[in-house]
Amino acid sequence: IAAMLNDHKLKPIIEYNDFSEHNQGGSKVKGLWISGRKAGQVATVYLKKEVKEASGNNNVKVVAAKIQERMVRGRELDGEKVYAKILEGLKAHPTQKKTHEQKMLKEEEVFLWYVIYNKARFSTREILNKALELNLNKSEKFYEALKNLAPEQRAFMLRKVMLDQYGGNYPATDYGFIIRKIAEAYGDIDIKGFEKEQAEIRTKREQRAQERVKHLQKKGKEVKSKS
C-alpha cells in the first residue's frame, strides 16, 4: 500500500491528528482505511478544520488545488441538497395519491423505459446500447435517447429484457401467463403443435403408470390370497 501511495504521490492522513469520524466542523470527505481493523473499508470522515493544508510557499499549488477540489465538491453538495428537496416535494405531491387522475407524463414514461432498461443484465444492456444508440456518457443525452425511442425500438427493448429477466421455465407464475399470451399474440409460434406433442408423451407416460398400478394391484391380491 505504501508503494502505491508513493507512486501516486499521495500522503496518508492520520486519525485524530488530521481527521475524525465525527463532525467537528471540518470538510466532509470519503476516504479509504489503509491500516487497522477497518483496513480496506471506505468511510466518510471529517477533516480537522483547515487540516494543516500545507505550510510554506512551496505548497501553494497544493493548497490551491485542495481549495478547488472543495469548491467542486461544494457544488456537488449543493446539487444533492436541491435534489433532496425535490424528492421530498415528490413524496408529498398529489400524484402519489391513488385518487389523483393526472395521466402519465411524457417524462414519467421516459422513467418507465429506464426502469425496464435498468432491469436488464449487463450483457443485454450492451446489446441495447448498441442497437438503440443509447449514449450513456451524459445523463441528459441518455434521457433524450430514451425519450425519442420509436415504438419499434421500445418493443425491441421490452422483448430483450422480458426474456433476459423473465425467461425462466415457470409457466404457473403471473409473468409466465403473460409471456404465453404474448407468444400466442405473435401468431407464428406453434403452441398447439407443442401441446399436441407433449400430450402424446403424457398419454404414453400415464398408460405405463396405469399398467404398473394394475400389475402392483394384481401382485397384492396374489400375496393376500396366499396368506
| DSSP state string for 51-94 | TT---SGGGHHHHHHHHHHHHHHHHHHHHHHHHHHHHHHHHTSG
Residues 90, 110 within the same domain: no
Share of the chain above pLDDT 90, in %: 44
Residues 176, 197 within the same domain: no
Residues 178, 208 within the same domain: no
For CA atoms 17, 20, 23, 26, give the dihedral sign.
Answer: positive
Please give the mean pLDDT across all residues of the chain: 83
Q: Which three cell numbers stand for residue 36?
A: 487497522
Q: Which three cell numbers stand for residue 122?
A: 449487463
Residues 158, 134 within the same domain: yes
Residues 182, 140 within the same domain: yes
pLDDT one-digit tens code per residue, 114-152: 999 999 999 999 999 999 999 788 999 999 999 999 999
Higher pLDDT among residues 5 and 171, named by residue = 171
Residues 163, 215 within the same domain: no
pLDDT band of residue 51 (cuts 50, 70, 90) is very low
Q: What's the confidence (pLDDT) of residue 183? A: 94
Residues 202, 153 within the same domain: no
Give the residue numbers spanning the domain of 216: 192-227
Q: What's the confidence (pLDDT) of residue 125? A: 94
Residues 98, 111 within the same domain: no
Q: Domain tally for the chain?
A: 4
Side-chain half-sphere of 147: how many Cα atoms within 13 Å?
10
Type of residue found at 95: T
**pTM higher than the cut 0.95:** no
- Cα separations (Å) of 53 from 15, 47, 50? 15, 10, 6
Residues 71, 115 within the same domain: no
pLDDT one-digit tens code per residue, 66-95: 878 888 888 888 888 887 887 788 788 887
Residues 142, 170 within the same domain: yes
pLDDT one-digit tens code per residue, 99-111: 778 889 999 999 9
Residue whose C-alpha is closest to residue 120's, from 108, 133, 129: 129
Q: Which three cell numbers stand for residue 27?
A: 470538510
Residues 52, 77: contact at Cβ < 8 Å?
Answer: no
Helices in the chain by DSSP H: which ranges? Answer: 2-7, 60-91, 106-119, 122-132, 139-147, 151-166, 174-186, 191-226
Residues 45, 75 within the same domain: no
Q: Per-residue pLDDT for 54 more than 50?
A: no
